[in-house]
Amino acid sequence: MDEQPQFHEVEARSVLETGIVGLDHITGGGLPRGRVISIFGAAGAGKTVLGLQILAHRVSAGERAVFISFEQTADSVLEDMAGFSWGADGFAEDELIVLETGVPTDLHVSGRFDMQGLIATLLAVTDASGATIVMLDGLNALLSLLLEEADERRELLRLTDWVRSQGLTVLITAKASAENERARTRAEILDYQTDCVLVLDRLQTGNAISRTLQVTKYRGAAHIGHIVPVVMTNNGVEVVIAGGLASETLAPGAPASRPDQRMPTGVEELDPLLGGGYLVGSRTLLSGAPGTSKSTLAAAFSLAVVQDGGRVLYVSFDEVRAQLELHTASVGYSFREPLENGSLRILEESASGGTPEESALRIVRAVDDLGANAVVIDPVSALTGSGHPFADEALSYLLTSLSQRGVTVLLTSLLHGAATVDEATKSNISTIADNWIHLTYIANGGERNRALTIVKSRATAHTNQVRELVITSEGIELRPAYVADGDVLLGSARAQKEEQDRTEAWLRAVEYERGEAEILASMAELEGRISGLGNEVDLRRRDLERLRTTRDGALERTATALEARVAARRSGNLANDGDLANDGEGAHE
Amino acid sequence: MTETSTSRSAELTLLVAGESSASRSARATLDALIGDGLAEASQVRVIDVLQQPDFALRYKVYFTPSLIVETSTTTTTIVGDLHEVDEVKSLLAAA
């Protein structure tokens, strides 16, 4: 059977690491040693860079490598290499040999020919240098000079057979999107005759272009054959796939070594609800509609970490740095000092300017630059909801990279309305987060109040009860929500209910007070009336006395006058009457 | 003839790879050129690049056979089995 010899190859398979973690992962450990590997791609897809990067890594691992360009001068190759972190310091001439081969312009052809001169060249250069890996860049320029398609097929077969017989590892770059029939056939021949095929491509989504890599063939070995995202940075080609990271050993200080250490949430009342804070190295999702103060909570967390002596990278997709600073400062969270002393850094990312995989790499790099032990991604939905084909891969890569570093992660996410839980589940955000805190507005009695619920908190006893989140000028406070008849009451509804209950108790107290007061008042009234009546009695007594006094005076005067007339009569005369009259007349005198 | 004098002053190096039919054809043509007096035997050498690969590297020859025609000022390469002697003569004349 055909498969039989291939099966033996698996067992004897020797691989060489490319130094590109993600590529080593999808190829099951590296490229096949002693074999021919094709790198396909359109112009500008990064074929040459990928090849050079692999060569550079092999050289750094102690091997010697040869780079033969059929398109570029040696100087321009070296110049290109110097632009990358792995090529900036250059290489010793006998470690990485760069040959320029410019196909001669004054080449005359007479009759049939073969490509054994190339084999002789490879023989000469590898013998002299002891090189074990060779890259042939732009071989198609050479192949296209061959007269017929059949010649190409024959010469490629000769080359690959020879390479395998020598135990050399050879990388051949070739254009995949062939402009003509001959080039298409060449690609097919290469694809067929080489042992491993890598395809670099580009995928456009809106304005953003994702670079991709696919291992379309790996003879005799299992490999991951799906298209993976690639980012070109000054580190060269980076394959953005989380799988490659998982196998690496955890960095010292990773969460595994400190299983119970907590980080403050920045909200005093929230810490106990999460068992003392966010678990170091955990991921927390803060979901909620716009304006539910996700960023404010994130700011509170950032400042708490900084105050504990940590370093925080705040990745802001929505707001530019100045806006964010202003916004958080207005609610009592000022970034000014930590920004100035370098313990906090704001990384402004644009959701529209690039691809999620590029953002993911930039974030990881910024974390490394800063030595951050906490990261806020505000909002992570800028990555996941971007509609880019590799959003999930980028997020997974990012979170795995951060976990590896033991970094505590706070992700905010814009989720709306009733679809919240569905959306979160669909986008897998909920499954990648250890804690999930959901913020909502609860409309009640013409008011919108912020409410905080802990939907999930992995490995922590936590409360599911809704809290009211109140933003004061001093920051965030959580208040227990008022639960009545199974409803959660917040804001004035809560206040109202509380007031109502208070009033009832008060009324009961007032009731007693009122009874007592009434009695006291009536007693006082009665006493008042008593004292008023007393006064009246006095008055009457005085009236009486006055009356009596007046009456006694009048009686005395009458009695005196009578006594005087009685005395005058007794002294004599009838004239007493006249006297009496005279007396009356005399009174006129 | 001016053409022949140009050729005579040139150094000819034929790079072949092993004993292929193309190698034999190219050698035969070279012998014919010498026989016709168009090249001097002392100015002609034949190299098997599989035996002496440094020559392939030095001349940047990837195709075999290759005839390198070197004058004091120019280097011309004629690639192929050179089985059309007349064609080679005119190429040498142009070189």
Residue range A544-584, pLDDT digits in tens: 888 888 877 777 888 888 888 888 887 765 554 544 444 44
CB contact under 8 A, A111 and B61: no
What SS3 string covers A346-365?
EEECCCCCCCHHHHHHHHHH
Helix residue ranges per DSSP H, A61-207: 74-82, 116-129, 139-143, 149-166, 181-193
Confidence of residue A3 (pLDDT cuts 50, 70, 90): very low
Question: In this predicted structure, what is the pLDDT of residue A91?
Answer: 86
CB contact under 8 A, A109 and B80: yes
Q: Strand, coil or helix: what is B10?
A: coil
* Long-range contact set of residues A559-566: C-beta below 8 Å, sequence gap at least 24: none
Q: Which of B63, B76, B81 sits opposite A115 (nearest CB)?
A: B63
Question: Greater confidence, A176 or A100?
Answer: A100
Other residues' Cβ atoms within 10 Å of the Cβ of residue A438:
22
Distance from the B84 Cα atom to the nearest Cα atom in chain A, whole angstroms: 7
Q: Which of A104, A117, A142 sits opposite B49 (nearest CB)?
A: A117
% pLDDT > 90, chain A: 33
Question: In this predicted structure, what is the pLDDT of residue B51?
Answer: 92
Structure tokens at A13: 């398979």
Please write the tens of the pLDDT for every residue from A224-259.
888 999 999 999 999 998 877 764 444 444 444 456
B39 CB near a chain A CB, below 8 Å?
no
Confidence of residue A44 (pLDDT cuts 50, 70, 90): confident
Question: Which residues touch A268 (CB under 8 Å, ≥6 apart)?
Answer: A477
Distance from the B41 Cα atom to the nearest Cα atom in chain A, whole angstroms: 21
Among chain A residues, the shortest Cα distance to B14 is held by: A117
Distance from the A172 Cα atom to the nearest Cα atom in chain B, whole angstroms: 15
For residues B2, B4, B5, B7, the Cα torsion angle rounded to the nearest 10 degrees is 130
Question: In this predicted structure, what is the pLDDT of residue A483?
Answer: 63
Q: Give the span between the Cα atoms of A342 and A173, in whole angstroms.
A: 45
Question: In this predicted structure, what is the pLDDT of residue A398?
Answer: 93
Report chain B residues whose CB lies below 8 A from the CB of A142.
Answer: 62
Question: Greater confidence, A322 or A341?
Answer: A341
Whether B15 contacts B65, CB under 8 Å: yes
Question: In this predicted structure, what is the pLDDT of residue B94?
Answer: 72
Report chain A residues whose CB lies below 8 A from the CB of B94.
Answer: 108
**Range in A44-53, A55-64, A313-322, A364-373 the model is least confident about:** A313-322
Distance from the B42 Cα atom to the nearest Cα atom in chain A, whole angstroms: 24
Question: Which residues touch A391 (CB under 8 Å, ≥6 apart)?
Answer: A356, A383, A384, A385
Question: In this predicted structure, what is the pLDDT of residue A170?
Answer: 96
**Residue whose structure tokens are 């398109």:** A71
Question: In this predicted structure, what is the pLDDT of residue A275?
Answer: 85
Question: Which residues touch A372 (CB under 8 Å, ≥6 apart)?
Answer: A310, A311, A312, A313, A345, A366, A407
Question: In this predicted structure, what is the pLDDT of residue A503?
Answer: 62
Please write the tens of the pLDDT for every residue from A349-362.
887 778 899 999 99
**Range in A80-94, A175-189, B54-68 the model is least confident about:** A175-189
Question: Which whole number is the average pLDDT over B64-90?
Answer: 86
CB contact under 8 A, A127 and B76: no
Q: Evaluate if residue A525 carries a pLDDT over 80.
A: no
Question: In this predicted structure, what is the pLDDT of residue A555?
Answer: 78
Q: Evaluate if residue B83 carries a pLDDT over 60.
A: yes
Mean residue pLDDT of chain A comes to 81
Domain count of chain B? 1
CATH of the domain at B33: 3.40.30.10
Other residues' Cβ atoms within 10 Å of the Cβ of residue A463:
13
Which of B29, B62, B67 best probes binding to A when mutated, by most A CB atoms within 10 angstroms? B62
- The residue range of the domain holding B21 is 2-94
CB contact under 8 A, B61 and A121: yes
Distance from the A123 Cα atom to the nearest Cα atom in chain B, whole angstroms: 6
CB contact under 8 A, A110 and B79: yes
Please write the tens of the pLDDT for every residue from A8-18.
444 457 899 99
Q: Give the span between the Cα atoms of B45 and B67, in whole angstroms.
A: 10
Q: Give the A window 102-141 contacts with B, CB below 8 Å.
A: 102, 104, 106-121, 123-125, 127
B12 CB near a chain A CB, below 8 Å?
no
Among chain A residues, the shortest Cα distance to B58 is held by: A121
Confidence of residue A90 (pLDDT cuts 50, 70, 90): confident
Q: Give the span between the Cα atoms of A113 and A97, in whole angstroms.
A: 27
Q: Give the span between the Cα atoms of A122 and A115, in whole angstroms.
A: 11
For this complex, say whether ipTM is above 0.85: yes
Please write the tens of the pLDDT for every residue from B3-62.
444 444 688 999 999 888 889 999 999 898 888 887 788 888 999 999 999 999 888 889
Distance from the A108 Cα atom to the nearest Cα atom in chain B, whole angstroms: 5
Question: In this predicted structure, what is the pLDDT of residue A10?
Answer: 44
A224 CB near a chain B CB, below 8 Å?
no
Please write the tens of the pLDDT for every residue from A115-173.
999 999 999 999 989 999 999 998 888 888 887 888 888 999 999 999 999 999 999 99
Which H or E element spans position A200? strand A196-205
Q: Give the span between the Cα atoms of A483 and A463, in whole angstroms.
A: 14
Q: Which of A106, A110, A127 sits opposite B87 (nearest CB)?
A: A110
Distance from the B38 Cα atom to the nearest Cα atom in chain A, whole angstroms: 17
Question: Which whole number is the average pLDDT over A189-199?
Answer: 90
% pLDDT > 70, chain A: 81
Domains, chain A, ordered by start: 3-239 (3.40.50.300), 255-480 (3.40.50.300)
Confidence of residue A346 (pLDDT cuts 50, 70, 90): very high
B23 CB near a chain A CB, below 8 Å?
no
Question: Which whole number is the average pLDDT over A31-52?
Answer: 92
Report chain B residues whose CB lies below 8 A from the CB of A106.
Answer: 76-77
Confidence of residue A509 (pLDDT cuts 50, 70, 90): low
Question: In this predicted structure, what is the pLDDT of residue A488?
Answer: 66
Whether A230 contacts A238, CB under 8 Å: yes
Helix residue ranges per DSSP H, A221-264: 243-246
Taking the mean position of all CA atoms in its chain, how far away is CA A222?
37
Task: Report DSSP letters for A456-510, one per residue.
Answer: EETTS------EEEEEETTEEEEEEPEEETTEEE-HHHHHHHHHHHHHHHHHHHH
Question: Greater confidence, A108 or A429?
Answer: A108
Question: In this predicted structure, what is the pLDDT of residue B13?
Answer: 93
B60 CB near a chain A CB, below 8 Å?
yes
